[in-house]
Structure 1
Amino acid sequence: MAPRHGAVEPPAGDKPRNYDQMAGSRRLLRRLIEVAAIPLEPQERLDRVVRMIATDMVAEVCSVYAQRAGDLLELFATEGLAPGAVHRVRMRVGEGLVGSIAATGQVVNTADAQSHPNFRYFPETGEEIYHSFLGVPLLRSGRVTGVLTVQNRAPRHYSDDEVEALEVIGTVLAEMFASGGLADPKVYGYIAGLRRESYRLEGTRLVEGVAIGRAWLHEPQIVINRLIAENVGTELNRLDLAVARFRASMDELVERPDLGPGEHRDVFEALRMFAHDPGWVRRIRETVETGLSAEAAVRRVQEETRLKLGHVADPYIRERLQDLDDLANRLLRQLTGQALHHDPSDLPAETILIARNLSAADLIEYDRSRIKGIVLEEGSRTAHVTIVARALDIPMLGRVDGAMAAADPGDLLAIDGDHGHLFLRPTEDVEQAFLSSIMIRQERRRILETQRSLPSVTLDGVPIGLSLNAAFLIDLAHLDESGADGIGLFRTELTFMNRSRYPDLPAQTDYYRSIMEKAGDLPILFRTLDVGSDKQLPYWRTPAEENPAMGWRAIRMMLDRPIVLREQLRALLRAANGRPLCVMFPMVTEVAEFEAARALVDRELDRLDRDGLPRPERLEVGVMMEVPALFWQLPAILRRVDFVSLGSNDLFQFLYACDRGNPQLSDRYDVLSPGLLSFIHDLVERCRAAGVRLSVCGEMASRPLEAMALIGLGVRHLSVTAADLAPVKAMLRSVAIGPLHDYLMTLLELSDHSLRGRLQAYALDHQIVLPPGVYRP
């Protein structure tokens, strides 16, 4: 006996209850694909489609509604209703039976449409004579793009098999709409499945600036080329093989020996449980049996899951549904053979990079000269990728909900990083406005650049040290022309992250020597390896952690791998070759950690003596103040260090117990809060009393308003991104520190959530030069 899903029809006695219905839907699907291949105008093709569906389902009416801009549903084709109603009848989402389907994504199946509480009569259609009504949503990218309905005069409840058949047909119609085969976008403009009209999405400002470019998805869209099963048995076999490979990959992930115990293993175990869930796979198999290809069946079940995501408030259930969505993507990639990520080397010029989220390592794999802007569906202001984007002067938006689904590859996008707006397919006037803004900014920057050679001195004569943050040799290309006092933070880890293998001692020595030669006589502060958390090295396997931001990273990792730290210190000392050298250890939590790291410096100095190599003319060793615990050990640490550099990003994270990468918390707290500013003021006073230099090298120093607060608190050394050096210098040359300090001292004991508004008003009242957008309420 042939298997149920084979090419041969099973004997009559072995047929499943709905076999004939499934066979009928498969025949209709094949006819739909045949119609799609005929060279017809989109409207004529759609008219044929609704006639075919009506005939096949023995329905007196079949209608297709497409969602247009402004949450409107428009009747696009009908068989049975008044022909004059096509493209004339429109309703809002939520209005009438069709509108309620679009609003909820739920099927409506009723034997008496007029008595349904959501029914609304449209006299243009002539549908008052029809009682039975069945409507299903057209789903794509997790949202409803249209509605497909059938109607009959006789009151009857449509069977489950008929509902299933119409849903399957709707899956194909949604893809046909998206391809432009059923509606001409030149005529009808925006249709939810086509997304051709200009519109705006809201997001969070991560890196200021404006940009125009073409969309490039970090995670490429999964393109399904085969919608219909030529042979159901073959498709089920393809599905089974893909599921087996997919499950094996999940098993391998969970069984990795370096995964370790803990809650994170429970997460992966839960994912594996979903991957082995027979109900999920059975639902996909049943969908294949209706006549869809394996990948189209996975997509249909995925769309149902995505639709549920939008209607579930419970965070736990949403996370589980998100897991199923991610697993569906992995299974689709098994079936289609498509890559998980684009090859970074394929990135075209003038690109706007779109992703759900990015790591710092992801970003630096791309050619930054080709990236004009970045759009993330998640992201936060203090995430490491944001820091890198700011250093590269790339405008970036975060928390742009639905960006990946809304933008097609190659779409023209415009980013307003000052106000948190993303314009998709901007109109010509919007595009010209952005181009004009970009030119004005370039001219303004040119004017600011003329101040580079001017001294960094406030109106009342207080000198402020202004240095640059850097991570690559190219960052030092124009250091001598920048007007900077040197490099106040050189992030050595980004160079390690940008390599395919660990750099040995000669490679590190040559690299650091090149950096020092580029800098000439200007000082450079080298931060030792600060990896871990979201800064992973591709050639090091690090264990998964429940809370990596507060886990095994930075100096903690290096003290556990002293050979790595000693080799980096040895390379720095050899590269200095007698020149001054400044070294800083990140994330020092207690004095004992600094002493252990400093002991390694001393051992390498002794090694220089043994090898007959010169010691640095002047060696300064300091710490990065990031962990609040170190603040309560200041007397001891200040006796041992040559300087302290405040890392505002991690300090803010740890002081407020606020995950820097959590988008839900990105706006919850402010660095200009009385609490953090009081902390910094106390640190300034205690470093001054001990005669230890204090600088600020975090993102706080690169924002002119925040930098204004820092110098008002007494900070006299700032290290900023290259793009922000000129705006910060213009600010400090326009401010008098004495009155600003007195004003700040009156604010530190306030109970305000943030002092941002008060400082903006002060800057405005005292004609302090700040970039556009900073004075926003």
Structure 2
Amino acid sequence: MVILQGKSVFGGVAIGKIQFFKRDEIQIKRRHVDDPEAEIRRFRTAKEKALSELQQLYDKALTDVGEANAMIFEAHQLMLEDPDYNDSVENIINTQKVNAEYAIGVTSDNYAAIFEAMDDAYMQGRAADVKDVSNRLLSQFAKKQNASFEMTEQVIIAADDLAPSETVQLDKDKVLAFITVEGSANSHTAILARTMNIPAVIGIGDTLTPKYDGKLAIVDGQEGKIYIDPDEEILVAMRKKQAVEQEQRELLETLKGKENVTRSGQKINLYANIANVSDVGAALRNDAGGIGLFRSEFLYLENETYPTEEQQFAAYRQVAEMMAGKRVIIRTLDIGADKQVGYFNLEKEDNPAMGLRAIRICLTRPELFKTQLRAIFRASAYGQIAIMFPMIISVSEVRRIKEIMDEVKTGLRADGIAFSDQIETGIMIETPAAVMISRELAKEVDFFSVGTNDLTQYTLAIDRQNRNLDSFYDSHHPAVLSMIQMAAENAHAEGKWIGICGELAADLSLTERFLQMNIDELSVAPGMILPLRKKIREL
């Protein structure tokens, strides 16, 4: 048995034979041409054919994976029509008097290199798009069009990498999983895999070779592992894991579209917690009523420097659009404590959990805060966005935040940039101080969301990262539950709603207790939404 390790893109277990993806290699040769104008006409004709193919792919993807993911091929059409790309191709043909194929190949390499050199992981992923678009153009010149990849049985697709157009054309009924040598978790292909519910492991490296073609394998998407020629013990264990997944899928299908309501008629909202744009697919598949916690700090954790306003705006806008009018609650930057970012240059602290973190960083670095707020407010024009502020301990903090938000709004109006005037603002209840003054805080905001992880830590005076204290740590401690209840009562007394977005929200043993507290919303990992709905409907 051989075990290969890669990066998980989408969970799930698949068992079957490996089939390596084969594509016709397009050979590019440099040829001198006497009539550059005729060669440019060849290029433009090929471009029109490629645009037509991309439109067909868009139509197919629209049916298979929805509008948000079909837009990949709309973006590819725009890339093909990009003036800089076209000017580069035609300029090479004119100045060097060479064939269109060579000019396309050089332009493709140049543009892909630019994207690959960028620090941003999302932009690096666009290099694959440039190559995909260019290969589509080049295929128009080939006498023999690339034959479609044939699968005679259900298989695990293996490849060096897969372009979005290749992924969407696969026969989904015959794809058990896909595994790749290279690949980015931020690539369109990865997003499509998650949307299509195909277990996927990428970045396996050179250990994944064609010598495994036809071998029996197991893909454990959750662990990012590939078992080739698995022994009987692993086969039995993985089949059991598959059976559990099948039960979950059946649960998902039966509960989709149903209300989160108890037998006695009490309703509660079930939202999803996400860390980035790629998690939205899982939220939608699991029938989330909205996004209760968008952990915006992951935009900072995944970057090598401060994400720009445009980067943040693009992410927030995409989530708002994909959720199509459902509430999206974006938590502002929550860096510090166990989430350290080098380029913030924070001083070393003896007790970082009680140090400069979250809203404290934002209020001491207002320009950083304003950049994020501008991006969020701009995105609010594209959906129902709400803002939530972490680690609040005083009314004065909330009032200072409001002043900064007013400054940001004034700046946006001056710049003529649209944003929603109906955006809700809320705070995290995760300190005992916030609980004790929650009645006063409720007068300042539209909602509360309880962060039970930190609330438990601060209430019990136990570092939740310290394994030596596990026997003392009790997330069900009566003091913690009493604090949640106090915050709920004070929120409702001021006519405001309250949710829970910490780990306790998904604790099925506490669901009934939370309903008794009249909690209005529970926000959990996408995979917990339907089990939680089942629990609620049985109470």
- TM-score, shorter chain, exceeding 0.5: yes
One-letter identity of the residue aligned with 1:597: I
Distance in 1 between residues matched to 2:315 and 2:13, nearest whole Å: 33
Q: Which residue of 2 aligns with 1:564?
A: 368
Confirm or deny that 1:445 pairs with 2:248. yes
* CA RMSD across the alignment: 3.5
Q: Which residue of 2 aligns with 1:523?
A: 327
In the TM superposition, what whole-angstrom CA distance separates every residue of 1:48-100 from its partner, at most 9, and x where no partner exists?
xxxxxxxxxxxxxxxxxxxxxxxxxxxxxxxxxxxxxxxxxxxxxxxxxxxxx
Q: Which residue of 1 aligns with 2:60?
A: none
One-letter identity of the residue aligned with 1:642: D
Distance in 2 between residues matched to 1:682 and 1:210, nearest whole Å: 40
Residue 274 of structure 2: which of 461, 470, 486 is its match? 470
SS where residue 538 of structure 2 aligns? coil
TM-score, normalisation: structure 1: 0.40
Taking only the aligned residue pairs, the percentage that are identical comes to 31
Please show how residues 251-400 of structure 1 align to structure 2 within 5 Å. Answer: none
Q: Is this contact kept in 2: 1:646–1:695, CA < 8 A? A: yes
In the TM superposition, what whole-angstrom CA distance separates every residue of 1:634-668 from its partner, at most 9, and x where no partner exists?
23211101000000000000000010100111232
One-letter identity of the residue aligned with 1:536: Q
* Offset at residue 452 of structure 1 (A): 2.1
Q: Which residue of 1 aligns with 2:439?
A: 635
* Offset at residue 592 of structure 1 (A): 1.1
Residue 451 of structure 2: which of 634, 647, 658 is its match? 647
Distance in 1 between residues matched to 2:318 and 2:219, nearest whole Å: 38
Distance in 2 between residues matched to 1:368 and 1:569, nearest whole Å: 27
Distance in 2 between residues matched to 1:619 and 1:510, nearest whole Å: 18
* Offset at residue 608 of structure 1 (A): 2.1
Q: Is this contact kept in 1: 2:320–2:385, CA < 8 A? A: no
Distance in 2 between residues matched to 1:563 and 1:516, nearest whole Å: 24
Higher helix share: 2
SS where residue 428 of structure 2 aligns? strand
SS where residue 718 of structure 1 aligns? strand
Confirm or deny that 1:599 pairs with 2:403. yes
Please show how residues 122-137 of structure 1 align to structure 2 within 5 Å. Answer: none
Q: Is this contact kept in 1: 2:320–2:384, CA < 8 A? A: no
One-letter identity of the residue aligned with 2:327: P
In the TM superposition, what whole-angstrom CA distance separates every residue of 1:327-346 from its partner, at most 9, and x where no partner exists?
xxxxxxxxxxxxxxxxxx9x
Q: Is this contact kept in 2: 1:578–1:614, CA < 8 A? A: no
* Offset at residue 471 of structure 1 (A): 1.4
Distance in 2 between residues matched to 1:467 and 1:675, nearest whole Å: 26
Please show how residues 81-160 of structure 1 align to structure 2 within 5 Å. Answer: none
Which ranges of structure 1 fall in alignment gaps of 5 or more residues? 1-208, 214-344, 351-365, 370-392, 395-411, 418-426, 736-777
Q: Is this contact kept in 2: 1:578–1:617, CA < 8 A? A: no
Q: Which residue of 2 aligns with 1:272?
A: none
Distance in 2 between residues matched to 1:722 and 1:580, nearest whole Å: 19
SS where residue 640 of structure 1 aligns? coil
Q: Which residue of 1 aligns with 2:499?
A: 695
Residue 518 of structure 2: which of 714, 728, 735 is its match? 714
* Offset at residue 570 of structure 1 (A): 0.8
User: Which stretch of structure 1 is more off in the superposition, 652-661 or 444-453?
Assistant: 444-453
* Offset at residue 617 of structure 1 (A): 4.1
Q: Which residue of 1 aligns with 2:74?
A: none
TM-score, normalisation: structure 2: 0.57
SS where residue 437 of structure 2 aligns? helix
Confirm or deny that 1:456 pairs with 2:260. yes
Residue 551 of structure 1: which of 355, 359, 362 is its match? 355
Which ranges of structure 2 fall in alignment gaps of 5 or more residues? 1-10, 16-124, 126-156, 159-182, 187-198, 201-216, 223-229
Distance in 1 between residues matched to 2:352 and 2:329, nearest whole Å: 26
Distance in 2 between residues matched to 1:730 and 1:507, nearest whole Å: 38
Greater Rg, structure 1 or structure 2? 1
Distance in 1 between residues matched to 2:14 and 2:283, nearest whole Å: 28
* Offset at residue 687 of structure 1 (A): 1.6
* Offset at residue 212 of structure 1 (A): 11
Q: Is this contact kept in 2: 1:525–1:581, CA < 8 A? A: yes
Q: Which structure exhibits the higher relative contact order, with contacts defined as CA atoms closer than 8 Å and separated by 6 or more residues?
A: 2
SS where residue 477 of structure 1 aligns? helix
Q: Which residue of 1 aligns with 2:394?
A: 590
In the TM superposition, what whole-angstrom CA distance separates every residue of 1:517-561 from its partner, at most 9, and x where no partner exists?
122111100100000112122422211110111111000111010
In the TM superposition, what whole-angstrom CA distance separates every residue of 1:147-175 from its partner, at most 9, and x where no partner exists?
xxxxxxxxxxxxxxxxxxxxxxxxxxxxx
Q: Structure 1 residues 442, 495: closer, same or farther in 2, change over 3 A?
A: same
In the TM superposition, what whole-angstrom CA distance separates every residue of 1:699-750 from its partner, at most 9, and x where no partner exists?
1112322334322332121001011111111111111xxxxxxxxxxxxxxx
Q: Is this contact kept in 1: 2:299–2:307, CA < 8 A? A: no
* Offset at residue 580 of structure 1 (A): 3.8
Q: Which residue of 2 aligns with 1:536?
A: 340
Residue 385 of structure 2: which of 575, 581, 584 is its match? 581
